[in-house]
Amino acid sequence: MSENEGTTYTLATRDVSYRTGGSTLLSGATLTFHPGTITGILGPSGSGKSTLLKCLTTIYDPSKGTVTINGEPVDSDVPGFRRLLGYVPQDDVIHRSLKVDQVLQYAARLRLPAETTAEEIENRIATLTSGLGLADRRTHRVRRLSGGQRKRVNIAVELLANPAVLVLDEPASGLDPGTEEDLLGLLRRLADMGKTVLLTTHSMEFLDALDQIVVLDAGKIAFAGPLDAMLAHFGITHPADVFKALRQHEETGGAEL
C-alpha cells in the first residue's frame, strides 16, 4: 500500500455487515469517504456507529463485504493501512499519571521516524498543543485534566504521525460549544490539507461544518449526504429533529424513509 507524501486516500465500504452472538449490528453499509472532506456519523445509541468505525479501522473484520482504501481491500495489507490511519476511540488510551508533555514525547518517539530530531518533535508538539488549546496544559498530569482536555490529548497523540485518514469516535464528548467549534476548525484545516476525516457525534450544533452526514438506524444506512439534503430527506427544519423522525419511523412499522 503506497504511502507517498502528498497522496490522498479515499476510504470506502461495500455492502459491509457485522454480526456477533447471533445479532446483526451493521447491515449492508455502502459508503465513500473522500479526501478533503469531513463526514459526521449520526444515529441513536445502538444504531451501529461505533461498529462501523471498528470495521473501518480493522478492529473488527466484517462478516460480509469489503473495506477499501483507494480501491484496494484494506485486509490485503492491514499494517500498511494502519500506518495511514489515526484512530481516536471514545475511551482514553493515555496514562493518567504522566504529564501531557511526557505523553506526547513518548508517543512521538514511538510513531515518528527514528531520524526525527528532538527539535522537530518539539515543534510538532507545540503546533498541536496550540491548535488544540492545550499549550498551557503541557506540564499538567493527565489525571488533572477535564474530560474534554483528555480527549484533546488523545487527538494530539494520533495527529503526531500526520495520518492521511483520521477517524474519531465521539470527539466532541465532554467539550463545551466553544471548544467543539475550535476542534471542528482544526479538523477542517486537516481536511483542507487533503486528509480524509470522519467522526461519530451526538452533537447537533455544528453539522453545517460537515461535508457529508451519515445517519444510521438499527445498523442500517438511513441517509448519506449533505446537511440540506438530510433536512429535506427527513422533512425536518432542525437537525436535532432527525432523531424524532427515526423514532416515528420505528413507531409506524419501519416504512421506507
Q: What is the pLDDT along the chain (257 residues), one digit of tens a residue?
A: 555 567 899 999 999 999 999 999 999 999 999 999 999 999 988 899 999 999 999 999 999 999 999 999 999 999 999 999 999 887 777 888 899 999 999 999 988 989 999 999 999 999 999 888 899 999 999 999 987 788 889 889 999 988 999 999 988 877 778 878 888 888 898 999 999 999 998 888 889 999 999 999 999 999 999 999 999 999 999 988 998 888 886 666 555 55
Model pTM?
0.86
Q: Is 169 exposed, middle or buried (0-12, 13-18, 19+ CB in 10 A)?
A: buried
Q: Tell me the Ramachandran region of residue 133: left when phi exceeds 0, alpha when psi lies from -120 to 50, beta otherwise.
A: left
The grid cell for 73 is: 481491500
Identify the pLDDT of residue 176.
78
Identify the pLDDT of residue 48.
94
Instruction: Give the β-pairing of 64-69 and 11-20.
Output: antiparallel
Identify the pLDDT of residue 246.
87
Identify the pLDDT of residue 256.
53
Q: Is 214 exposed, middle or buried (0-12, 13-18, 19+ CB in 10 A)?
A: buried
